[in-house]
Amino acid sequence: MTPTEPTPGVRDRPGTPVPDPDQRRARALADATRFRLFEAIGGSPVPVGVAELTDRLGLRDSTVRYHLTQLRDGGLVVETREASGQPGRPRLTYTAPVATPRAYERLAALLAETVANGTTPRETGRAAGHRAAEAHALAGTPAAEAIAAEARALGFEPESRRRGLELVLHHCPFANVAADAPETVCGLHLGLAEGIAERLGGIEVVGMDVRDPYQAGCRLVLARRPGSPQPGSRRR
C-alpha cells in the first residue's frame, strides 16, 4: 500500500451529510496520486484503461484501481465498460469530462492579467480570445465552432442551437467563483467569445443571458454578419 492510499473499506458513517459535487471533487483531488491519474486521463485524447495508467505512472494495478474509484465517485472521471466482442470481462476505460485543473489555471491567469494590466475582465477576455483564435484560424475553424470548442475545453458543456447562433452552457465549472463574482467570471468568458468572433469574423456576439451558475443554462447569443457563410459550415 502506498503512503497516499487510505485504508480500503473505510466509508463515511451513516447519517454523515453528503458533500456537494464541488466538495467531492476537491476531496478526490486532494491526494497526489489521484491528481496524477486525473491529469493523465484528462490529457489523453482517447479513453484509457488501467493497464495504460499502471505503465505510465509506475503504480501497482490495485493502487490505480482504488484511486480510479475515488475519481469516479467524485464525478471527475467517467468509467465505461468497453464492449470488445471477445470472451472474458470487458475492459474498463476512463475519460475526464469535467474541467481539468488546467481550466482553473487558465482562469487564474486571466484574473492575474486583469490585475496586472488594469483592464476590465471583459477586455482581458477579449484579448485572450484574439490569441485563442490564431490556432482556430490555422485550422480553418468557423468562429461559432471555435467559440463552442473553447467553451467545451473549459468544461461548460455547450449545446449549439439555432444553426450555431446560440450556445446553451449546461455546466458552469467555475460555479463557486461565478456566484461570488459574476461580473468578473462571466465578463471574462463573454470577452473571450467576443475576441474569437472579432478575429475570425463572420459572426458577432450579441450578448450573454446569465443564469444562476449552480443551475447553469447560460445562453451565449450570436448573430451572423451580412454576407457571411452560415455558422457551422466549413470554409472552402
pLDDT in tens, 48-96: 899 999 999 999 999 999 999 988 887 778 888 876 666 667 789 998 7
> What pLDDT, in 10s, does the model give residues 6-21?
333 333 344 444 444 5
In the chain, the percentage of residues whose pLDDT exceeds 70 is 77
**Cα-flanking dihedrals φ and ψ of residue 12, to 5°?**
-65, 145
- pLDDT higher at 195 or 85: 195
Angle CA(38)–CA(42)–CA(47) in degrees, nearest 5?
A: 105
Predicted TM-score of the model (pTM): 0.58
| Averaged pLDDT for residues 35-39 | 82
Question: Measuring CA to CA, which residue among 8, 79, 70, 7 is closest to residue 33?
Answer: 70
Q: What is the pLDDT of residue 227?
A: 67
Burial of 137 (0-12, 13-18, 19+ CB in 10 A): middle
- Has residue 105 got a pLDDT over 80? no
| Averaged pLDDT for residues 115-120 | 88
Burial of 200 (0-12, 13-18, 19+ CB in 10 A): buried
| pLDDT confidence band for 143 (50 / 70 / 90) | very high
Q: Are 53 and 64 in contact (CB under 8 A)?
A: yes
- Has residue 123 got a pLDDT over 70? yes
